[in-house]
Amino acid sequence: MNQQLIFNHDYQFDEAAVAIRCSILQGGLRNIVYIRMPEGWTAAAWLAQVREDSFFWEDEIELALKRGELDPDGNLWLDGSV
C-alpha cells in the first residue's frame, strides 16, 4: 500500500466543473481530482461508472501525479474519455 498517496473515495458530481470530484492525500497535503464527464453521459451514470472503475482511476491519478500534472491550485484534471 502506498502510504504517500491516500484515496479518500469521496466521489461526487461537481455540476460547475461537469466532472466527478474526489480528494486525495499526497504526502499529507489534500488535493482535489476532477474527472471530466464525456459527452453523452448523465451525471448519475458517470458517477456510478467512476465508482465502479475506481482502481483504474487510482492508477490514472498516480500516473498523472508522477508526470506533475497538478494545476497551480493543486488540482488534478483528468479527461474522462481515457
Residues in the chain: 82
The C-alpha cell that represents 43 in the structure block: 451525471
Beta strands 75-78 and 29-36, pairing class: parallel
Instruction: Specify the pTM.
Output: 0.90
C-alpha distances (whole Å) from 40 to each of 57, 58, 66, 68, 69 are 20, 23, 30, 30, 26
Q: Which residues pair with 59 in a beta bridge?
A: none
Say yes or no to pLDDT of 82 above 60.
Answer: no
pLDDT tens figures, 31-79: 999 999 999 999 999 999 999 999 999 999 999 999 999 999 989 999 9
